[in-house]
Amino acid sequence: MPAQQDGFATRAVHSGSRPGRAQGATTTPIYASAGFAYETAAELEDVFAGHKPGHIYSRISNPTVAAYEERLAAVENGRGAIATASGMAALATVIMTLTRAGDRIVSNASLFGGTRRLFTALMSRYELEVVYIDLDREGELEAALNDRTRFVYLEAIGNPKLDVPDIPAVAETVHAAGIPLVVDSTLTTPFMLDAHQVGADLVLHSTTKFISGHGNSIGGALIDTGRFNWGEFPDPDLGKASSLVGKELAFLYTARQLVVQSLGNLASAFDAYLQSMGIETLGLRMERHCSNALSLARALENHPGVAAVNYPGLASSPWHETAERLYRPHYGALLSLRLGTRERAFALINALRLPKQIANLGDCKTLVIHPGSTIYHDHSADVLEASGVHDDLVRVSVGIETVDDLIADFTQALDRL
């Protein structure tokens, strides 16, 4: 077992691993079992009552998923984790655990389109108030907080705007208001962002992306960094959980027992297995993703056919200074290009040889998409503006290919426009 002071790569490889000892396996087996059998009625009664540890039914917990959750918590240096069926399922779990009708969520406006869609649906259907702010505008966060605000939400690097919020500064304001900060670290991953250290209370991932790493699995993760005192959170269910299991575990307990168990959005054993394997090579892949993205961004910035390159690692990014302070020397694998017109953006996508055109990111392969006509096709002009989605924008999720091949491919495609 790794120790807490071990480095990221050591924890990534050695944590949360429960090989089948009898067979000498080196990876955690996939426990494909819907439920778990016990010898005596008293034993199962004890497990149900929480007096004895054990798995009951794979909608609530599963040994493969539990080992993966242990690994997620270890790489985040968190108190514990819940592996969900998707990134959206992780977000739904946070919302359902922390809010009730009439409550307010304050969110940075630069968001993944699906997150924005869920927030909007909840506003109209369940009377939740979601207030969007621009964290780059001084005073907007403070002005949006009121006594019904249950959490503040942001993406560590915004998808697809590529803005970089100053998380420690945001955390200070949020904590002064006595509420938790929830950070979507999908684009940064635990390799780039030590969420606990910068002040996040809950971290969320679409593990579909870099954590899985190979575009072969959908998943999400929710990690409690252990900073927030849930005993002081103003909700009766968390209050009850605090008296039952202690304030340290109250969030994770409530999220699993109240929401995941009822919603049925836990990760499957097979997906947990794939994503757990992904964590073992996350650091290596992220180093390559990030260095490839920086080289490609620099090369594209000098091409006369590109109107603008957005990448936090470039000095031209308005968020470069914050990115330097929080993430140097890694700036993520996502960049975007402006081509001048939608026609040129489409033509670039059609002329590329290597990248796949896919509504995903974080694959080993380079992926491209025109967000305006796809992920954001049904969003209003205001949302497009807040998310940095222009009609001439192409988003690139830079893979781990030989970077010279990527630069040559983008160059030949741009030369043909």
Cα separation, 247 vs 404, whole angstroms: 52
Nearer Cβ to ligand PLP, position 323 or 414? 323
DSSP string, 242-257: HHHH-TTTHHHHHIII
Q: What minimum distance in Å lies between the beta carbon of 207 and ligand PLP?
A: 7
Q: What minimum distance in Å lies between the beta carbon of 115 and ligand PLP?
A: 6
Nearer Cβ to ligand PLP, position 28 or 93? 93
Burial status of residue 39 (CB atoms within 10 A of its CB: 0-12, 13-18, 19 or more)? exposed
Question: In terms of DSSP H, where are the helices of 127-254?
Answer: 140-144, 167-176, 189-192, 195-198, 236-245, 250-254
Nearer Cβ to ligand PLP, position 17 or 97? 97
Nearer Cβ to ligand PLP, position 377 or 416? 377
CB within 8 A of 35, min separation 6: which ones?
Answer: 56, 57, 58
CB within 8 A of 142, min separation 6: which ones?
Answer: 173
HSE of 416, CA atoms in CB hemisphere, 13 A: 15
Q: What minimum distance in Å lies between the beta carbon of 208 and ligand PLP?
A: 4
Q: What minimum distance in Å lies between the beta carbon of 398 and ligand PLP?
A: 15
* DSSP helix/strand/coil, 386: helix
Q: What minimum distance in Å lies between the beta carbon of 220 and ligand PLP?
A: 5
DSSP string, 256-309: IIIIIHHHT-BPPHHHHHHHHHHHHTHHHHHHHHHHHHHHHHHHHHT-TT-SEE
Residues near ligand PLP (CB under 6 A) = 86-88, 112, 114-115, 155, 159, 184, 186-187, 206, 208, 218, 220
Nearer Cβ to ligand PLP, position 98 or 156? 156
Nearer Cβ to ligand PLP, position 87 or 388? 87
Q: What minimum distance in Å lies between the beta carbon of 157 and ligand PLP?
A: 8
Q: Which residue is nearest to ligand PLP (CB)?
A: 87
